[in-house]
C-alpha cells in the first residue's frame, strides 16, 4: 500500500502530530503564520530565549561559530544580534540557503580537515582587521569551500561564542542515542577549547544576575539528559568556565529530554 498524506491523516498518531504542529506557536512563527519574526526553523526561538536570558552570549562585534547550523535558524538569530558588526561562521554537513552576514562551510564538523578549515577562516578574518565595526562578511552570505593559507596561532582565533545545536540521527535505542549525544558534545567542547577567547589574568565579571558578563568566551550546547552527560558537565565544563547553567527553554517540547548547557566565561585550558 502506498502511503499518501490522506492515508497518514487517517492514523491516530498522524492526527495527533498534525494537531500538535498546528497549535505550536513556534512552528507557526517559522512558517510565517504568525506576526513575529520569521525564522527557518522552530529551534531558532530556543536561541532567542537563551540569548534573552544571557545577553552576553551574542553581542555586536562578536565572532560566533554555529555548529550543526542547517537550515540556518540559529545563524539567523546570531546575525541579527550582531547588528552588522562581527562575524558568524555556520558549519553543517547539509547545505543551507545563504544568510546575510554568515559564512557557510559545508562539511562534516567531526572531520579534522573541516575543523582546520574553520580555524583558518577565523584566523584570516581576524587578520583582516575587520573584527571591530566591520561588516559581517560576505554580503550575500555565500557558501565557501577550500582552505586559506594563513597563520593559525592561538592569538589569531579568540572566538567569542561557539553554538552547537548538533543532534545525531535518533535510532530509538537509548544507549546508542546517549553515546551519540556524548560524542557530539565532546567534539564541540574540544573545538571550543581551541578557539574560544580565554579570560585575561585578573579580568573580572561585570554586572549582576543573568545579565552578568563574564570575561572569556561562551559555549552553548544541546545535550540529552543522562548520568553520563551530567558527569561530562562536572568533569569537562565546570572546571573550564566561570559559570555553567543547565537550561531547557520554554520553546523545547515538554516531552523532549533535550536541554542546553550555557557555559559562560572561558578560563582557558585545552
Cβ atoms of 57 and 64 within 8 Å: the answer is: no
Q: What's the rounded Cα separation, in Å, for the pair 116 and 113? A: 5
Output the CA–CA distances (angstroms, integers) from residue 7 to 11, 16, 113, in the order listed: 7, 14, 45
Cα 200 to chain centroid, rounded: 24
Q: What's the rounded Cα separation, in Å, for the pair 222 and 263? A: 11
Strands 87-92 and 161-164, how do they pair?
unpaired
Catalytic residue, chosen from 210, 212, 248, 267, is: 212
Which residues, 6+ apart, have CB-to-CB distance to 82 below 8 Å?
58, 59, 60, 61, 62, 64, 88, 101, 136
Q: What's the rounded Cα separation, in Å, for the pair 61 and 82? A: 6
Question: Which cell numbers in the block locate residue 62?
Answer: 562578536
- Stated as kind and residue range, the H or E segment containing 25 is helix 25-31
- Answer yes or no: 212 catalytic: yes
Q: What's the rounded Cα separation, in Å, for the pair 269 and 249? A: 29
Report which DSSP code applies to 216. S
Q: What's the rounded Cα separation, in Å, for the pair 218 and 226? A: 23
Q: Indicate which residues carry an active-site annotation.
A: 212
Amino acid at each position: 500500500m502506498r502511503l499518501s498524506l490522506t492515508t497518514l491523516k487517517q492514523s491516530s498518531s498522524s492526527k495527533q502530530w498534525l494537531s500538535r504542529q498546528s497549535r505550536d506557536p513556534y512552528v507557526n512563527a517559522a512558517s510565517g503564520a504568525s506576526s513575529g519574526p520569521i525564522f527557518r526553523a522552530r529551534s531558532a526561538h530556543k536561541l532567542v530565549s537563551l540569548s534573552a536570558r544571557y545577553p552576553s552570549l551574542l553581542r555586536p562585534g562578536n565572532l560566533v561559530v554555529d555548529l550543526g547550523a542547517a537550515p540556518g535558524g540559529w545563524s539567523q538569530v546570531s546575525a541579527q544580534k550582531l547588528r552588522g558588526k562581527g562575524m558568524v561562521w555556520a558549519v553543517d554537513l547539509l547545505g543551507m540557503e545563504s544568510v546575510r552576514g554568515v559564512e557557510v562551510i559545508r562539511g562534516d564538523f567531526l572531520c579534522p580537515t573541516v575543523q582546520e578549515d574553520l580555524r583558518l577562516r577565523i584566523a584570516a578574518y581576524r587578520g583582516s582587521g575587520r573584527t571591530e565595526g566591520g561588516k559581517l562578511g560576505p554580503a550575500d552570505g555565500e557558501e565557501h569551500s577550500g582552505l586559506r593559507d594563513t597563520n593559525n596561532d592561538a592569538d589569531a582565533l579568540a572566538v567569542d561564542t561557539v553554538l552547537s545545536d548538533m543532534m545525531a540521527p535518533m535510532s530509538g535505542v537509548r544507549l546508542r542515542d546517549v553515546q551519540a549525544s556524548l560524542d557530539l558534545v565532546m567534539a564541540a567542547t574540544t573545538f571550543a577549547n581551541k578557539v574560544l577567547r580565554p579570560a585575561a589574568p585578573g579580568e573580572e565579571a561585570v554586572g549582576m544576575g543573568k545579565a552578568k558578563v563574564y570575561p572569556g568566551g561562551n559555549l552553548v550546547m544541546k545535550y540529552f539528559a543522562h548520568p553520563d552527560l551530567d558527569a561530562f558537565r562536572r568533569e569537562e565544563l565546570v572546571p573550564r568556565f566561570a559559570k555553567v547553567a543547565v537550561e531547557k527553554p520554554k520553546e523545547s517540547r515538554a516531552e523532549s529530554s533535550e536541554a542546553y548547557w550555557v557555559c559562560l566565561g572561558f578560563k582557558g585550558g585545552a
